[in-house]
Protein backbone atom coordinates (compact mmCIF):
# COMPACT_ATOMS: atom_id res chain seq x y z
CA UNK A 1 0.00 0.00 0.00
CA UNK A 2 1.31 3.45 -0.88
CA UNK A 3 1.88 5.86 1.97
CA UNK A 4 -0.45 8.85 1.99
CA UNK A 5 2.04 11.69 2.37
CA UNK A 6 -0.74 14.19 3.07
CA UNK A 7 -1.25 12.50 6.45
CA UNK A 8 1.51 12.79 9.00
CA UNK A 9 2.94 9.36 9.87
CA UNK A 10 2.85 10.21 13.58
CA UNK A 11 -0.92 9.87 13.68
CA UNK A 12 -0.73 6.10 13.14
CA UNK A 13 -0.82 4.53 16.56
CA UNK A 14 0.78 1.10 17.10
CA UNK A 15 -1.43 -1.95 16.64
CA UNK A 16 -2.95 -3.24 19.89
CA UNK A 17 -1.50 -6.45 21.37
CA UNK A 18 -3.53 -9.70 21.32
CA UNK A 19 -6.46 -9.70 23.75
CA UNK A 20 -4.87 -12.56 25.70
CA UNK A 21 -1.45 -10.86 26.10
CA UNK A 22 -0.15 -11.22 29.66
CA UNK A 23 -1.49 -8.76 32.22
CA UNK A 24 1.15 -6.23 33.33
CA UNK A 25 -0.95 -4.01 35.61
CA UNK A 26 -4.11 -5.17 37.32
CA UNK A 27 -6.10 -2.80 39.52
CA UNK A 28 -9.05 -4.31 41.35
CA UNK A 29 -11.78 -2.56 43.36
CA UNK A 30 -9.51 0.31 44.27
CA UNK A 31 -10.65 3.22 46.38
CA UNK A 32 -8.66 6.22 47.52
CA UNK A 33 -9.90 8.43 50.33
CA UNK A 34 -7.88 11.38 51.60
CA UNK A 35 -8.56 12.82 55.06
CA UNK A 36 -11.05 11.39 57.52
CA UNK A 37 -14.34 12.11 59.21
CA UNK A 38 -16.05 15.24 57.95
CA UNK A 39 -12.96 16.06 55.86
CA UNK A 40 -12.89 12.71 54.04
CA UNK A 41 -12.51 13.18 50.30
CA UNK A 42 -13.00 10.24 47.95
CA UNK A 43 -10.89 10.36 44.77
CA UNK A 44 -11.38 6.79 43.49
CA UNK A 45 -14.23 4.42 44.26
CA UNK A 46 -14.38 0.82 43.04
CA UNK A 47 -11.93 1.52 40.21
CA UNK A 48 -10.78 -1.35 37.97
CA UNK A 49 -8.17 -1.28 35.21
CA UNK A 50 -6.29 -4.03 33.37
CA UNK A 51 -3.26 -3.25 31.21
CA UNK A 52 -1.78 -5.96 28.99
CA UNK A 53 1.76 -6.33 27.67
CA UNK A 54 2.40 -4.13 24.63
CA UNK A 55 -0.47 -1.73 25.26
CA UNK A 56 -0.02 2.02 25.25
CA UNK A 57 -2.80 3.20 27.55
CA UNK A 58 -3.74 6.85 27.71
CA UNK A 59 -5.33 7.76 31.01
CA UNK A 60 -7.61 10.75 30.52
CA UNK A 61 -10.03 12.55 32.80
CA UNK A 62 -10.96 15.99 34.04
CA UNK A 63 -8.74 17.96 36.37
CA UNK A 64 -8.62 16.40 39.84
CA UNK A 65 -10.10 13.04 38.80
CA UNK A 66 -7.10 11.24 40.29
CA UNK A 67 -4.90 10.38 37.29
CA UNK A 68 -1.64 11.31 39.02
CA UNK A 69 -2.72 9.60 42.25
CA UNK A 70 -3.39 6.46 40.21
CA UNK A 71 0.10 6.61 38.64
CA UNK A 72 1.53 6.95 42.16
CA UNK A 73 -0.41 3.85 43.27
CA UNK A 74 0.99 1.92 40.27
CA UNK A 75 4.50 3.08 41.18
CA UNK A 76 3.93 1.90 44.74
CA UNK A 77 4.59 5.39 46.10
CA UNK A 78 1.17 5.51 47.75
CA UNK A 79 -1.18 2.80 48.98
CA UNK A 80 -4.87 2.83 48.09
CA UNK A 81 -7.40 2.92 50.93
CA UNK A 82 -8.90 -0.37 49.72
CA UNK A 83 -8.37 -2.66 46.74
CA UNK A 84 -5.28 -4.10 45.08
CA UNK A 85 -2.70 -2.89 42.57
CA UNK A 86 -0.66 -5.70 41.00
CA UNK A 87 2.30 -4.85 38.79
CA UNK A 88 4.07 -7.61 36.86
CA UNK A 89 2.42 -10.17 39.11
CA UNK A 90 3.45 -8.60 42.41
CA UNK A 91 1.86 -6.01 44.73
CA UNK A 92 2.81 -2.48 43.64
CA UNK A 93 3.84 -1.74 47.23
CA UNK A 94 6.94 -3.91 46.63
CA UNK A 95 8.08 -1.44 43.97
CA UNK A 96 8.95 1.20 46.53
CA UNK A 97 11.77 -1.05 47.68
CA UNK A 98 15.13 -1.40 45.92
CA UNK A 99 15.12 -2.58 42.32
CA UNK A 100 11.96 -0.72 41.31
CA UNK A 101 13.70 1.01 38.38
CA UNK A 102 14.30 -2.39 36.81
CA UNK A 103 10.56 -3.02 36.67
CA UNK A 104 8.95 0.37 36.10
CA UNK A 105 10.38 3.48 34.44
CA UNK A 106 8.78 6.84 35.19
CA UNK A 107 8.96 9.97 33.06
CA UNK A 108 7.82 12.96 35.12
CA UNK A 109 6.01 15.87 33.51
CA UNK A 110 8.93 18.29 33.39
CA UNK A 111 11.71 15.72 33.27
CA UNK A 112 12.67 16.19 36.93
CA UNK A 113 16.40 15.95 36.15
CA UNK A 114 18.89 16.53 38.97
CA UNK A 115 20.17 20.03 38.26
CA UNK A 116 23.57 19.44 39.90
CA UNK A 117 24.31 16.33 37.78
CA UNK A 118 25.30 16.34 34.13
CA UNK A 119 23.31 14.46 31.48
CA UNK A 120 25.24 11.20 31.75
CA UNK A 121 25.09 11.22 35.56
CA UNK A 122 21.33 11.81 35.39
CA UNK A 123 20.80 8.93 32.96
CA UNK A 124 22.95 6.51 34.94
CA UNK A 125 21.61 7.52 38.36
CA UNK A 126 19.50 4.43 39.20
CA UNK A 127 22.23 2.06 38.00
CA UNK A 128 24.85 3.93 40.02
CA UNK A 129 22.63 3.84 43.12
CA UNK A 130 22.22 0.10 42.77
CA UNK A 131 25.96 -0.18 43.36
CA UNK A 132 26.48 -3.42 41.46
CA UNK A 133 28.47 -2.05 38.51
CA UNK A 134 31.76 -0.13 38.42
CA UNK A 135 31.38 3.55 37.44
CA UNK A 136 32.93 3.01 33.99
CA UNK A 137 30.27 0.43 33.09
CA UNK A 138 27.50 2.69 34.43
CA UNK A 139 28.81 5.45 32.15
CA UNK A 140 28.92 3.06 29.17
CA UNK A 141 25.33 1.95 29.82
CA UNK A 142 24.20 5.57 30.16
CA UNK A 143 25.96 6.46 26.90
CA UNK A 144 24.09 3.66 25.09
CA UNK A 145 20.78 5.04 26.37
CA UNK A 146 21.76 8.61 25.46
CA UNK A 147 22.28 7.58 21.86
CA UNK A 148 19.19 5.37 21.86
CA UNK A 149 17.01 8.44 22.52
CA UNK A 150 18.61 10.28 19.60
CA UNK A 151 21.10 12.51 21.43
CA UNK A 152 24.71 13.01 20.35
CA UNK A 153 27.57 11.81 22.63
CA UNK A 154 28.75 15.41 23.12
CA UNK A 155 25.53 16.14 25.05
CA UNK A 156 26.73 13.76 27.81
CA UNK A 157 28.66 16.38 29.80
CA UNK A 158 26.09 19.19 29.52
CA UNK A 159 24.13 20.31 32.56
CA UNK A 160 20.29 20.19 32.54
CA UNK A 161 20.08 24.00 32.58
CA UNK A 162 21.79 24.06 29.17
CA UNK A 163 19.29 21.75 27.44
CA UNK A 164 16.22 22.56 25.34
CA UNK A 165 12.81 21.31 26.48
CA UNK A 166 12.91 18.50 23.91
CA UNK A 167 16.38 17.42 25.04
CA UNK A 168 15.29 17.37 28.69
CA UNK A 169 12.44 15.00 27.76
CA UNK A 170 14.87 12.74 25.89
CA UNK A 171 17.35 12.65 28.77
CA UNK A 172 14.50 11.94 31.19
CA UNK A 173 13.32 9.10 28.93
CA UNK A 174 16.86 7.66 28.75
CA UNK A 175 17.02 7.84 32.55
CA UNK A 176 13.65 6.08 32.90
CA UNK A 177 14.88 3.28 30.60
CA UNK A 178 18.36 2.82 32.10
CA UNK A 179 17.44 -0.50 33.77
CA UNK A 180 15.40 -1.75 30.78
CA UNK A 181 12.06 -1.84 32.64
CA UNK A 182 9.21 -3.59 30.82
CA UNK A 183 6.70 -0.96 32.03
CA UNK A 184 6.98 2.78 31.41
CA UNK A 185 4.78 5.42 33.05
CA UNK A 186 4.55 8.88 31.48
CA UNK A 187 3.01 11.95 33.07
CA UNK A 188 2.06 14.43 30.34
CA UNK A 189 4.97 13.40 28.07
CA UNK A 190 4.49 16.22 25.56
CA UNK A 191 3.66 19.02 28.03
CA UNK A 192 5.73 22.13 27.35
CA UNK A 193 6.85 21.05 23.86
CA UNK A 194 5.96 22.93 20.68
CA UNK A 195 4.00 20.96 18.02
CA UNK A 196 7.15 19.82 16.18
CA UNK A 197 8.91 18.83 19.39
CA UNK A 198 5.79 17.02 20.48
CA UNK A 199 5.53 15.05 17.20
CA UNK A 200 9.20 14.12 17.37
CA UNK A 201 8.87 12.94 20.96
CA UNK A 202 5.82 10.82 20.06
CA UNK A 203 7.80 9.23 17.23
CA UNK A 204 10.62 8.44 19.66
CA UNK A 205 8.17 6.90 22.16
CA UNK A 206 6.72 4.75 19.38
CA UNK A 207 10.20 3.60 18.35
CA UNK A 208 11.09 2.72 21.96
CA UNK A 209 7.77 0.92 22.45
CA UNK A 210 8.38 -1.23 19.36
CA UNK A 211 12.12 -1.79 19.85
CA UNK A 212 11.97 -2.61 23.57
CA UNK A 213 8.56 -4.32 23.69
CA UNK A 214 7.37 -1.83 26.30
CA UNK A 215 4.01 -1.52 27.98
CA UNK A 216 3.17 2.14 28.49
CA UNK A 217 0.67 3.99 30.67
CA UNK A 218 0.50 7.72 30.14
CA UNK A 219 -1.51 10.57 31.55
CA UNK A 220 -2.23 13.10 28.83
CA UNK A 221 -4.45 16.02 27.95
CA UNK A 222 -2.87 16.26 24.49
CA UNK A 223 -5.16 14.76 21.86
CA UNK A 224 -2.53 14.70 19.12
CA UNK A 225 -0.22 12.51 21.18
CA UNK A 226 -3.17 10.44 22.40
CA UNK A 227 -4.20 9.57 18.83
CA UNK A 228 -0.57 9.16 17.73
CA UNK A 229 0.31 6.67 20.45
CA UNK A 230 -2.62 4.99 22.18
CA UNK A 231 -3.67 1.43 21.58
CA UNK A 232 -6.12 1.96 24.45
CA UNK A 233 -7.80 4.88 26.16
CA UNK A 234 -9.02 4.64 29.77
CA UNK A 235 -11.36 7.39 30.90
CA UNK A 236 -11.51 8.42 34.56
CA UNK A 237 -14.82 9.96 35.60
CA UNK A 238 -17.23 9.47 38.48
CA UNK A 239 -14.26 8.25 40.57
CA UNK A 240 -13.63 5.17 38.38
CA UNK A 241 -12.66 4.04 34.89
CA UNK A 242 -15.94 4.46 33.02
CA UNK A 243 -14.59 2.96 29.77
CA UNK A 244 -11.38 1.35 28.61
CA UNK A 245 -10.91 0.46 24.93
CA UNK A 246 -9.49 1.45 21.55
CA UNK A 247 -9.71 5.20 20.82
CA UNK A 248 -12.31 4.63 18.06
CA UNK A 249 -14.60 2.86 20.56
CA UNK A 250 -14.05 5.29 23.43
CA UNK A 251 -14.93 8.39 21.41
CA UNK A 252 -18.36 6.90 20.73
CA UNK A 253 -19.16 6.34 24.40
CA UNK A 254 -21.95 8.61 25.52
CA UNK A 255 -20.67 10.63 28.48
CA UNK A 256 -20.41 14.41 29.00
CA UNK A 257 -16.64 14.29 29.65
CA UNK A 258 -16.04 12.32 26.45
CA UNK A 259 -18.16 14.74 24.43
CA UNK A 260 -16.23 17.65 25.84
CA UNK A 261 -12.78 16.05 25.59
CA UNK A 262 -12.93 14.34 22.19
CA UNK A 263 -15.68 16.05 20.30
CA UNK A 264 -15.06 19.70 21.03
CA UNK A 265 -13.23 21.77 18.42
CA UNK A 266 -9.72 20.59 19.35
CA UNK A 267 -10.94 16.99 19.50
CA UNK A 268 -12.40 17.20 16.00
CA UNK A 269 -9.08 18.63 14.75
CA UNK A 270 -7.15 15.70 16.23
CA UNK A 271 -9.74 13.19 14.97
CA UNK A 272 -9.38 14.64 11.46
CA UNK A 273 -5.79 13.40 11.49
CA UNK A 274 -6.82 9.78 12.18
CA UNK A 275 -5.47 7.63 9.29
CA UNK A 276 -7.59 7.01 6.21
CA UNK A 277 -8.25 3.34 7.01
CA UNK A 278 -10.32 4.55 9.97
CA UNK A 279 -12.36 6.95 7.82
CA UNK A 280 -15.64 5.18 8.54
CA UNK A 281 -15.04 5.53 12.29
CA UNK A 282 -14.41 9.22 11.94
CA UNK A 283 -17.60 10.07 10.10
CA UNK A 284 -19.62 7.87 12.47
CA UNK A 285 -18.72 10.03 15.46
CA UNK A 286 -21.73 12.16 16.36
CA UNK A 287 -21.36 15.92 16.22
CA UNK A 288 -21.30 17.28 19.73
CA UNK A 289 -22.10 20.54 21.41
CA UNK A 290 -19.16 22.73 22.28
CA UNK A 291 -18.97 23.32 26.00
N1 LIG B 1 -1.63 13.52 49.28
C2 LIG B 1 -2.83 14.07 49.08
N3 LIG B 1 -3.58 14.47 50.12
C4 LIG B 1 -4.81 14.99 49.93
N5 LIG B 1 -5.37 15.15 48.72
C6 LIG B 1 -4.66 14.78 47.64
C7 LIG B 1 -3.35 14.23 47.77
N8 LIG B 1 -2.89 13.93 46.51
C9 LIG B 1 -3.87 14.31 45.67
N10 LIG B 1 -4.93 14.81 46.33
C11 LIG B 1 -6.18 15.27 45.74
O12 LIG B 1 -6.69 14.21 44.94
C13 LIG B 1 -7.35 14.74 43.80
C14 LIG B 1 -6.80 14.09 42.55
O15 LIG B 1 -5.48 14.59 42.33
P16 LIG B 1 -4.64 14.23 41.05
O17 LIG B 1 -3.39 15.05 41.13
O18 LIG B 1 -4.47 12.77 40.93
O19 LIG B 1 -5.57 14.74 39.88
P20 LIG B 1 -5.32 14.70 38.30
O21 LIG B 1 -6.43 13.90 37.70
O22 LIG B 1 -3.94 14.21 38.03
O23 LIG B 1 -5.52 16.23 37.95
P24 LIG B 1 -4.83 17.19 36.85
O25 LIG B 1 -5.31 16.71 35.51
O26 LIG B 1 -5.38 18.53 37.18
O27 LIG B 1 -3.34 17.08 37.04
C28 LIG B 1 -7.15 16.25 43.84
O29 LIG B 1 -8.32 16.83 44.37
C30 LIG B 1 -5.99 16.43 44.77
O31 LIG B 1 -6.05 17.68 45.45
- Domain-located, residue 160: no
- Domain-located, residue 153: no
Tell which wins on pLDDT, 245 or 100: 245
- Domain-located, residue 234: yes
- Minimal CA–CA distance to 228: which of 215, 211, 247? 247
Sheet holding 82-87, edge to edge: 41-52, 23-34, 82-87, 90-91
Could you tell me the CA-to-CA distances from 104 to 81, 112, 253 in Å, in that order?
Answer: 22, 16, 31
pLDDT tens-place string over residues 128-187 = 888 788 899 999 999 999 999 999 999 999 999 999 888 999 999 999 999 999 999 999
Alpha helices, DSSP H, located in 177-272: 195-212, 223-229, 247-250, 256-263, 265-271
- Calculate how far, in angstroms, residue 236's C-alpha sits from the geometric centre of ligand 1: 13
- Domain-located, residue 214: no
Does ligand 1 lie within 6 Å of residue 285's CB atom? no
Which residue range is the domain that position 54 belongs to? 17-98+220-291
- Calculate how far, in angstroms, residue 193's C-alpha sits from the geometric centre of ligand 1: 23
Q: What is the CATH number of the domain that holds 275?
A: 3.40.50.300
Does ligand 1 lie within 6 Å of residue 69's CB atom? yes
- Domain-located, residue 269: yes
pLDDT of residue 39: 87
- Calculate how far, in angstroms, residue 68's C-alpha sits from the geometric centre of ligand 1: 7
ipTM of model:
0.97
- Choosing from 34, 235, 236 the residue with most ligand 1 atoms within 8 A of its CB, the one to mutate for a pocket test is 34
pLDDT at 122 over 90: yes
Q: How many Cα atoms sit within 13 Å of 110 on the Cβ side?
A: 5
- Calculate how far, in angstroms, residue 167's C-alpha sits from the geometric centre of ligand 1: 28
- Cβ atoms of 120 and 139 within 8 Å: the answer is yes
Instruction: Give pTM, 2 decimals.
Output: 0.86
- Domain-located, residue 136: no
Residue 66 CA to residue 53 CA, distance in Å, equals: 23
pLDDT tens-place string over residues 68-93 = 999 999 988 889 999 999 999 989 98
- Domain-located, residue 84: yes
Number of domains within the chain: 1
pLDDT at 20 over 60: yes
Amino acid sequence: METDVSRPAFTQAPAPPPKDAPVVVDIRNLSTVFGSGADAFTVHKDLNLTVRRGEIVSLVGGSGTGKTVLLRHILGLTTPTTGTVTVLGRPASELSTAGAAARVGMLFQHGALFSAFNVLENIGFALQEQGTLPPALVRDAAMVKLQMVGLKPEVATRMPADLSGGMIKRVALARALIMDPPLLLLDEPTAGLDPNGSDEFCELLKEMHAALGLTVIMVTHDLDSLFALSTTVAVLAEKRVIIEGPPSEVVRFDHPFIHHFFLGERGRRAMAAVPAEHEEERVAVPAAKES
